[in-house]
Amino acid sequence: MKKLILLLLFIPLISFGQNEDVKKNEKETDLSLNGVVITGLKQKIKKNKRKKTNDINLSKNELQEPYNPFLDCDINDSSCFQNLVNQHILNNFHYPQLANYFDIQAMVNVNYTIDKNGVVKNVSSNAALIGVDFEDVDSKKIISDAFEKAANSIIESLPKINPSIVDGIAVDKKFRTPILYRLSDIEKGSMISININKIDNGLDFLSKLNKGNLMTEKVPVFPGCEDMNESEKKDCFQNKIYQHISKNFRYPEIAQKQGIQGRVIIQFVVGKDGNVSGIRTRGPDPILEKEAVRIISLLPKIKPAEIEGRKVRVPFSTSITFKLY
């Protein structure tokens, strides 16, 4: 009989406010995807240093660059290329803290070139803010810049890509990719008005938010984690997520029969009202994605995070690996 294994990784997508003690603790409990992979490799290398030279060479092979799907895709195949770009955007998506704080949404069109060497160049963007009216020009520019910077960084982080070939010669090719920054708990068509001049030291406050200098003062609190300090609440939150997924996890029978397995990346938002919304997934099969959505949809109401005494939504990412043995 096949054995089923559930592997979990959990990543908060927004930094929590921390004192020095919390920062030390965070290093010990880092559960980011990169952190887990790198730590594992470092441990293997350390052990192999005590072994023969050929063992050390083997450990170096383990450090080869990860698989790059773009190298198996024809850039002129719009369906293949766009699907990979969309997946890259989902995996690297980050909502600007500044815009999140003021409930601002945007559509950002990113223009870029894939040159004849397969390298991304000349990245520029234009952000169209949605449903917001600014009473001053300065704050509008700062927030637009925040969206554009976030979108540019996603596209700039694209890996090497097979260049466009015309008549057997590699050539530069220009692209435009739209990235929608949407808050799932904001009604479509709603309009807000912002006058930063009505806030004490408004532009300075806006600038600090834009640079990420104002961190979340109070983290989201999962039921059962209330009577703890901020550091303990963060660890408790992660543990409760693990417990919730493990408790509600079911490997779809049809996926078992068809031998479907793999890692599903899930993004969701803990809103200002404490409800979970905006669930998005990316995985090897819709069957596994549907199960991941079902699990996250069962999360209880959570006490929302706060910045400067104001409730804010916090995006999170987690992954569930479905594996058959």
Dump pLDDT digits (tens) for 286-296: 999 999 999 99
Model pTM?
0.59
What are the residue ranges spanned by the domains of the chain?
Answer: 1-18+216-325, 19-64, 69-214
Query: Which uninterrupted H or E stretch holds 113?
Result: strand 105-114
* Mean pLDDT for all residues in the chain: 75
Q: What is the CATH number that goes with domain 1-18+216-325?
A: 3.30.2420.10
CA dist 50 and 107 (Å) reads: 54
What are the backbone angles phi and psi of residue 318, rounded to the nearest 5°? -140, 160
For residue 172, the model assigns a pLDDT of 95
Residue type, 50: R
Q: What percent of the chain clears pLDDT 90, i.e. is strictly above it?
A: 28
Whole-angstrom Cα distance, residue 303 to residue 219? 9
d(CA 150, CA 138): 19
Pairing outcome for strands 132-134 and 192-194: parallel
pLDDT of 177 over the 90 cut? yes
Give the confidence band of 77 by pLDDT, cuts at 50, 70, 90.
confident
Look at residue 104 and tell me whether its pLDDT is greater than 70.
yes
Closest CA to 154 of 71, 65, 74, 85: 85
Answer whether residue 30 shows pLDDT above 50. no
